[in-house]
Amino acid sequence: MPRSPIYFTLVRLADGDLASLTVIREPTESFAQLRSYGFRDHAGASSPALTEMRTGTFLDTVAGVFSISRDRPFMYIVPNGMSRADWLAAMETKAHDPRFGIMERDGEFSYCMIVPWLQ
């Protein structure tokens, strides 16, 4: 059974600092963690509308939740020379890559990459 999509990236906070964002997306709900030095915030959402959202709208919704309800506004970092559409396509590909996983410890998410065993 395929796992739920997991989006993870660095974001730039409103004060200029960097933070990591990890989002687990289920068909009608999502759970996100925003973490940087000195804080860790979690946010969740549940709505049938999430099922129909394209990647860009979904990630913008996640950013809006942190900006409005958690008072932690941030901007996604799109690499120089890459269009937003290409960045979103890369995020979607990475979100479904089975080599990436997520672990929870003491209420905090961290992501990992499963390296294939070479013989």
Task: Give per-residue pLDDT as tens, 41-58.
Answer: 999 889 999 999 999 999
Task: Report pLDDT for 110.
Answer: 65
- Cβ atoms within 10 Å, residue 45: 19
Cα separation, 67 vs 84, whole angstroms: 20
* Nearest alpha-carbon partner for 106 in 7, 57, 49, 35: 35
Does position 2 have pLDDT exceeding 90, yes or no? Answer: no
More confident residue, 109 or 8: 8
Q: Is the pLDDT of residue 69 over 90?
A: no
Alpha-carbon distance of 59 to 43, in angstroms, equals: 13
pLDDT band at 97 (very low <50, low <70, confident <90, very high): confident
Q: Is the pTM of this model over 0.95?
A: no
